[in-house]
Amino acid sequence: MENETPVANAKPAYELRTERGLAKYFLLSIITFGIYAIVVESHISEELNLVVTPHDNRRTMHFCLIYFIFSWLTMGIVPLVWYHRTSDRMGNELKRRGLDYEFGASDFWLWCILGSLILVGPFIYTHKRMKAMNLINADYNAKG
């Protein structure tokens, strides 16, 4: 019998989404009255837990809990904390995987919050967020 050892960095059995984009996100969100945005953010929270939790031992709360329960209970404070934390986790995972893309919690505060004063900031943040998650998922699909 041959000596079988598990292969380090084997490709995962299930491939994660890598086709998210700003135009698709906003157009489908408008057409579906916001349902598409909720679905995408839910997938991001699940994928972030799948990819990042084995390395940082933290879990991201599911977006539906944030959106439907905690956002109105806390008058919008918990969603701010959630976006801050998920952006930070994405930035840390990009660095850990050696991917050449800058993203983090500062992008949330600068582009999404302060950038809303110039109206295009949230769009830039969403583009950066989608690109960061696409890069993380593509690397996960390739290396595990």
The share of the chain scoring above pLDDT 90, in percent, equals: 88
Tell me which residue range forms the domain holding 125.
22-143
- pLDDT digit string (tens) for 92-106? 999 999 999 999 999
Which pTM value belongs to this model? Answer: 0.87
> In this structure, is residue 108 part of a structural domain?
yes
Give the distance from CA 69 to its chain's centroid.
20
Give the C-alpha separation, 131 to 20, whole Å. 7
User: Maximum distance among all alpha carbons in the chain?
Assistant: 67
Whether 2 maps to a domain, the answer reads no
Say how many domains are in the chain. 1
Helices (H), 20-120: 22-31, 35-56, 63-65, 71-73, 77-96, 105-107
Instruction: List, for residues 44-90, the tens digit of each pLDDT value.
Output: 999 999 999 999 999 999 999 999 999 999 999 999 999 999 999 99
Q: Is pLDDT above 50 for 1?
A: no
- Within a domain: 15: no
Report how far residue 105's alpha carbon sits from residue 85's, in angstroms, rounded to the nearest whole number: 7
